[in-house]
Amino acid sequence: MDSGLALRAPRNDELERLHRMPINHLDPPTGHMADNVIGFARALRAAGLPVGPGSVIDALNALQLIEVGNRADFYATLAAIFVKRHEHALIFHQAFMLFFRAAEEWKSMLDSVPLPDHAKKKPPPASRRVQEAMAQPARSEERPQAQEQELKLSVSDKEVLQKKDFAQMTAAEIAEVTREIAKMRLPQAELVTRRYQPDARGLRLDMRRTVRNSLRTGGEIIDIRKLGRIEKPAPIVALLDISGSMSEYTRLFLHFLHAITDARKRVSVFLFGTRLTNVTRALRARDPDEALASCTSSVEDWAGGTRIATSLHTFNQLWARRVLGQGAIVLLISDGLEREADAKLAFEMDRLHRSCRRLIWLNPLLRYSGFEAKAQGIKMMLPHVDEFRPVHNLTSIKGLIGALSSPPPAHHRSLIRSVA
């Protein structure tokens, strides 16, 4: 960062012009520090931080009180103004390091130097979002016919992406699917409880409030108060298989669970391979990359073996009474390929089925049209589930959203029977 750049507050018309025109973050058009701050604020806003014009003005005023040439003071000043919540600090740090970096020739020189294997570190969480926000929009100088053809191709690509298997996607397609999953929202399918609350359209008379209100009119009952049932979204409990054959599907389904966790507070997530791990608290981080990284680091048996019966026994014994109350919906994501398929697996599945209101088994093996339940583990698990659905592409996840939005069944008896 050049400390010799002049720092001045722009006029209102100039500020509006700078907000409208595209700014190259590495080479500002005017050379003033105000342009850098405005461009940096725009990049933070694109990365998901709530940065408004008022914060930009506060940042410009604060920078006049410090030594701009001191990088640490400059970082601390902008962080104090732009970072409003704890989860925003990581995104701000990544954006600051990318925005206020060395000159472009230094970047090209460093890129030309081959790095050893131990120096190639995994990018930290939120870096992908920041890099996408920093990317300059390409200027479209194509003809209308070319733009129309590109639009048709993009629509066709989206249709193909909806039905493509997660395991067959490239890295770019997985990134696009992740962005689509982050936009998904689960409708609030309400569950009627036994408690009541004041409701003008309720069907039950609220005698206490009615009599109390009549005291204002000398004991004459003029306004009749009513009560209605309290409705809450049903709790969702997800049990995800993280064995080697399920790792890709589980990782993308964790993005879906993270997307619905913000709207539904009662979402519990457990990962199991050879042991059961509760990752509910780790998945509550606002940034999806940080949440997934925290889940991965807290699990020791990722992409390992599978012990479904042992994991279900641990869940039924330690966690069932805590998270399966008030009509919980259980999502079991597994291919059902169990090492030790015996009577214990059937017993634990039956116990889980009786403890919840609705048990939905999501199996990626249903992507095959000729699928038959020939494995011993699948035969023992099928009689104890309410629904058996695929979970291998975006279309199947949208179908799951529709199923969760529908009213739950009034009984636990499953209509699915295993193939003999």
Condensed to tens digits (0 to 9), the pLDDT of residues 202-254 reads 888 888 888 888 888 888 888 888 888 887 778 889 999 988 778 778 888 88
318 with 300, same domain: the answer is yes
Lowest mean pLDDT among 3-12, 90-99, 243-252, 253-262: 3-12
Residue 124 lies in a domain: no
Residue-wise pLDDT tens digits, 266-323: 889 999 988 899 999 888 887 777 888 888 888 887 777 788 999 999 999 999 998 9
Three-state SS at 55: helix
- Quick one: average pLDDT of 365-377? 82
383 in a domain, yes or no? yes
DSSP class of residue 411 equals -
Domain end residue (candidates: 217, 232, 247): 232
Residue 417 confidence (pLDDT) above 50:
no
Q: Which pLDDT score is estimated for 188? A: 60
CATH of the domain at 328: 3.40.50.410
The answer to whether position 1 is within a domain reads: no
**Is the pLDDT reported for residue 14 higher than 60?**
no
What totals of helices (H) and strands (E) does the chain contain, helices first? 17, 9
164: nearest Cα among 8, 377, 364? 364
Residue by residue, what is the 3-state secondary structure of 143-180?
CHHHHHHHHHHHHHHHHHHHHCCHHHCCHHHHHHHHHH
Residues 208 and 300 grouped into a single domain: no
Q: Are 316 and 285 in contact (CB under 8 A)?
A: no
Q: Output the six-digit token pair for 222.
A: 């003029």
Task: Yes or no: say if 286 and 89 are a contact pair by the CB < 8 Å rule.
Answer: no
**Residue 164, phi then psi, degrees to nearest 5:** -80, 140
Most confident of 107-111, 248-252, 352-356: 352-356
Residues 193, 194, 195, 197, Cα dihedral to 10°: 70
412 found inside a domain:
no
Q: Which of 153-162, 239-248, 384-393 has the lowest mean pLDDT?
A: 153-162
Whole-number pLDDT of residue 141: 46
Overall number of domains in the chain = 3
In the block, residue with structure tokens 């259980």: 330
Closest of 184, 209, 195 to residue 326, by C-alpha: 195
Whether 287 is covered by a domain: the verdict is: yes
With a cut of 60, say whether residue 364 has pLDDT above it: yes
Write down the pLDDT at residue 347.
93
Q: In the structure encoding, which two tokens stand for residue 403, read together?
A: 């199923």
Highest mean pLDDT out of 46-50, 136-140, 322-326, 345-349: 345-349
2: nearest Cα among 74, 94, 59, 77: 74
Higher pLDDT, 150 or 133: 133
pLDDT exceeds 50 at position 152? no
Q: Are 375 and 341 in contact (CB under 8 A)?
A: yes
Same domain, 205 and 241: no
Domain limit, last residue, from 112, 130, 160: 112
- Which residues lie across from 269 on neighbouring strands? 238
Quick: pLDDT tens for 111-140.
544 444 444 455 555 555 566 666 555 444
Residue carrying the six token digits 């929009």: 137
The pLDDT of residue 359 is: 92
Q: What is the mean pLDDT of the chain?
A: 76
Listing DSSP states for 344-363 in one string gives HHHHHHHHHHHHSSEEEEE-
Higher pLDDT, 418 or 203: 203
Is the same domain home to 349 and 211? no
Higher pLDDT, 218 or 349: 349
Residues 46 and 24 in one domain: yes
Q: Given 85, 112, 139, which residue is the final one in a domain?
A: 112
Predicted confidence at residue 385, as pLDDT, reads 92
Q: How far is the C-alpha of 100 from the C-alpha of 73, rounded, in Å?
A: 13
pLDDT on residue 151: 45
C-alpha to C-alpha distance for 10 and 16, rounded to whole angstroms: 9
For residue 344, which amino acid is it?
A: K
pLDDT of residue 130: 62
Residue 198 covered by a domain: yes
Q: Give the pair of three-digit tokens for residue 405.
A: 């939005």
Is residue 399 within 8 Å of 360, Cβ to Cβ? no
pLDDT at 19: 46
Rounded to an integer, the average pLDDT of 157-166 is 75
Residue 240 located in a structural domain: yes
The predicted structure's pLDDT at residue 112? 47
d(CA 174, CA 363): 19
The reported pLDDT for the residue numbered 413 is 44
Mean pLDDT over 22-49 rounds to 70
Q: Could you tell me if residue 326 is left (phi over 0), alpha (psi between -120 and 50 degrees) or otherwise beta?
A: left
Pick from 70, 1, 90, 84: nearest CA to 37: 1
Q: Which residue has the tokens 């479904």?
A: 308
Whether 131 is in a domain gets the answer no
Whether residues 205 and 276 share a domain: the answer is no
Q: Are 220 and 358 in the same domain?
A: no
Can you give the pLDDT at residue 110? 46
**What is the value of pTM for the model shown?**
0.60
Task: Looking at the structure, tell me whether residues 207 and 275 fall in a common domain.
Answer: no
Phi/psi of residue 213, nearest 5 degrees: -70, -25
Q: Are residues 223 and 299 in the same domain?
A: no
82 secondary structure, DSSP code: H
Mean pLDDT of 358-381: 86
pLDDT at 351 over 80: yes
| Element (DSSP H or E) covering residue 396 | helix 394-405
Mean pLDDT of 150-156: 50
Judgement on whether residues 389 and 326 belong to the same structural domain of the protein: yes
Judgement on whether residues 208 and 287 belong to the same structural domain of the protein: no
Domain that holds residue 33: 12-112
CA distance 86 to 74: 19
Asked whether the beta carbons of 292 and 285 are under 8 A apart, the reply is no
Assign 22 a pLDDT band (cuts: 50, 70, 90): very low
**395 and 335 in one domain?**
yes
